Homo-oligomer: A and B are copies of this chain.
Amino acid sequence: MEGYTKTEEKIIEAATEIFLEKGKDGARMQEIAERAGINKALLHYYFRNKKNLHSEVFKKEVQNFFDGLFSAMSSEKDFEAVLQNFINSYIDKLAQRPEIIRFIIWEIQQGSGFFADLMEEIFKEHHFLKMPLAEKIEEAISVGRIRSLDPVQLTFSIIGMCVFPFIASPILEKVFRDTQIYSETFLKKRKEEIFNMVWNGISI
């Protein structure tokens, strides 16, 4: 981590774990302090209050997630490769940090607009106008690579298919006792399934 002192790093690290696990309201400053090996007073010395600390952690996590994702996208390639790559990257990223979904969903529906602003910022950093994948889809349509459809709708569909297994993993692993969501074989199969479904549905 750059730009942080040793103590700040320890705090951020501890706060990330606790906020991801318990959420903003469920998290306790006391617990964060303990896990960081310091005391509450020092938390406030560095981050002033809980809201602030949470924002810092949230911003870092979201940026980290999407930076990796979008930087893998920017290179110009054939749309089939772009699609394949997007699905693979998204699933791999989610498998690394599945807790981030709940984190983001909570913040989104809080209605603060904080996440939306953050995303806009990240889009700009990567020189996208709005949603990266939607732009690529538009391109592919205009050059006749795929059939004409609503790029936004397709983007929703692809992301939805990628995200859902991670949202539902605890139930799914219970209902289907032999399904291990985080296993290499499942992830590979999932990637193929999404790609096939989409490509069958949109290719000319």
Contact = CB atoms under 8 A, between A and B. Distances in A.
A99 B106 CA distance: 10
Interface string A22-53: 11111000000000000000000000000000
Contact of A113 (B25, B162, B170, B194): B170
A171 B116 contact: yes
Nearest to A108: B170
A176 B193 contact: no
Interface stretch (A10-18, A64-72, A77-85, A150-158): A150-158
Contacts of A149: 193
Nearest to A176: B152
Copies in the complex: 2
Those 8 A-B pairs whose CB atoms lie nearest each other, nearest first: A160-B164, A25-B25, A160-B160, A25-B26, A200-B201, A197-B201, A153-B193, A116-B174
Interface string A72-109: 00000000000000000000000000010110011011
B168 A156 contact: yes
Given A152-B172, A156-B164, A156-B190, 19 more contacts: A25-B26, A102-B106, A102-B109, A106-B106, A116-B171, A116-B174, A120-B175, A149-B193, A152-B176, A152-B179, A153-B189, A156-B165, A157-B164, A157-B194, A159-B168, A163-B164, A197-B197, A197-B201, A201-B201
Interface of A: 22-26, 99, 101-102, 105-106, 108-109, 111, 113, 115-116, 119-120, 130-131, 149-150, 152-154, 156-157, 159-165, 167-168, 170-172, 174-176, 179, 189-190, 193-194, 196-198, 200-202
Contacts of A189: 150, 153
